[in-house]
Amino acid sequence: MATEQRPYHLVVFGASGFTGQFVSEEVAREQVDPARSSRLAWAVAGRCREKLQRVLERAALKLGRPTLPSEVGTIICDITNPASLDEMAKQATVVLNCVGPYRFYGEPVVKACIENGTSCIDVCGEPQFLELMYWKYHEKAAEKGVYIIGSCGFDSIPADLGIIYTRNKMNGTLTAVESFLTIHSGPEGLCIHDGTWKSAVYGFGDQSNLKKLRNQANLKPVPIVGPKLKRRWPISYCRELNSYSIPFLGADMSVVKRTQRYLHENLEQSPVQYAAYITVGGITSVIKLMFAGLFFLFFVKFGIGRQLLIKFPWLFSFGYFSKQGPTQKQIDASSFTMTFFGQGYSQGFGSDKNKPNIRICTQVKGPEAGYVATPIAMVQAAMTLLSDASDLPKAGGVFTPGAAFSRTNLIDRLNQRGIEFSILSSSEV
């Protein structure tokens, strides 16, 4: 980590964006945490001073702290101006990058941070960007001793650290995990800001390049321990949760696979196979989602289709995504649960010919995923970077959350702030 004196521990870049304003509020909460022993100096950064000021005023009003705007630094910088990004990076120990879609706007920030010895965290859910940054910048970041850690929001801290938690709680060797995400909404339903929708449209529209990137990487396969985890049907029934489920198409699978590779190759841990699903309730929801999914996958293939998807998110997502994002009422009434079903072998029980003889079920649950859990996860990841330096990977580099934080106390920090990890059951079969 950068050791020279810098004016700010944290800088929230893109603080006036939809996600950035919630991240700024969360940093303001962390600043007055009674457990803090030293002052947390931080700043907001973006293109427009007035908008940044409004974000701080809104946070001050919400948190009942009228002096907040005068306690926080303001940095004016623009993604299209590399010199301004350098200037921002020089003033921070850790940059919290909230400017997406990252495939368009993420790389200049990564570059500026590495060149100026600054660590950087984002909340990206775009596998192509995350994997590309690893191939392009891992060695440069390691040389500089800085940490570039992607997907530190709801994508993909619950899944990635959920598996590490499950492994740590299992009395034996964990070999395979299926996770099921359930989103709970209140009477006014769910809504997600269209920034996430845009990332998905561009990501699915460009899948051929992600395949190309993975083929060029030419990585040797990670060994499979125990029986191969079978994929479920595109629509399957989960008996334990009494709900239909479909594959979860977020970044979790990509992130978890990279973490498991890192833990196997660098810490000699037994790799865990993983599959991710999302529950969709009853058969009516299944039909509605099937139609939405088919529409999406058809339109996303063509340039004009992508333009339509981006122009009318509300229409094509059946009201789940909008340019306004969720209301405060919708946010307050929402929460998530991620349930992990793991299997493996008790100590001393061979995995060669035997069936797994131990099962474990764990859970991560928390508040609304996009704008409450994501800022909590991102800010606690940043605080862990600042305070648990000795437990991070020795050299810097580009990491997944699980690779960076597997030996830190991040899970404890999240537990204290409402993202709760727990064991539901564990039994030898």
Is it the case that residue 318 has pLDDT exceeding 80? no
Does 333 have pLDDT greater than 60? yes
Answer yes or no: is pLDDT of 2 > 50.
no
Q: What average pLDDT does this structure show over 336-356?
A: 88
Dist CA 381 CA 122 (whole Å): 10
Tens-digit pLDDT profile for residues 170-186: 999 999 999 999 999 98
- Average pLDDT of span 346-367: 89
Q: Are the beta carbons of 399 and 147 closer than 8 angstroms?
A: yes
7-17 burial by CB neighbour count: b if 16+ within 10 A, else e?
A: ebbbbbbbbbb
Of the ranges 241-250, 259-268, 403-412, which one carries the lowest mean pLDDT score?
Answer: 241-250
pLDDT value, residue 424: 96
Is-contact 241 277, C-beta < 8 A?
no
Determine the pLDDT at residue 290: 80
pLDDT digits (tens, 9 = 90+) for 230-244: 999 989 999 999 999
Kindly report the length of the chain: 429
Q: CA–CA separation, 70 vs 52, rounded Å?
A: 12
Judged against a pLDDT cut of 60, whether residue 3 lies above it is answered with no
Among 18-32, 191-205, 281-295, 381-395, the range scoring the smallest mean pLDDT is 281-295
What's the chain's average pLDDT? 93
pLDDT score at 4: 56
Peptide bond preceding 156 in cis form (omega within 30 of 0): yes
Burial of 164 (0-12, 13-18, 19+ CB in 10 A): buried
- What does the pLDDT average to over 412-429? 93
What does the pLDDT look like over 176-214, one tens digit per residue? 999 999 999 989 888 888 888 888 888 888 888 889 999
Tens of pLDDT, residues 87-120: 999 999 999 999 999 999 999 999 999 999 999 9
What is the pLDDT confidence band of residue 151, given thresholds at 50, 70 and 90?
very high
pLDDT in tens, 270-306: 999 999 999 998 888 888 878 888 888 889 989 999 9
First CA to last CA distance, the chain? 46
Query: Which pLDDT band, with edges at 50, 70 and 90, does 429 fall under?
Result: low
Can you give the pTM of this predicted structure? 0.94
Side-by-side strand order, sheet with 147-149? 73-76, 42-46, 8-13, 92-97, 119-122, 147-149, 397-399
The pLDDT of residue 255:
98
pLDDT at 381: 98
Are 303 and 295 contacting, i.e. CB atoms less than 8 angstroms apart? Answer: no
**For residues 241-269, average pLDDT:** 95
Task: Answer whether residue 428 shows pLDDT above 80.
Answer: no
| Residue type (1 letter), 48 | C
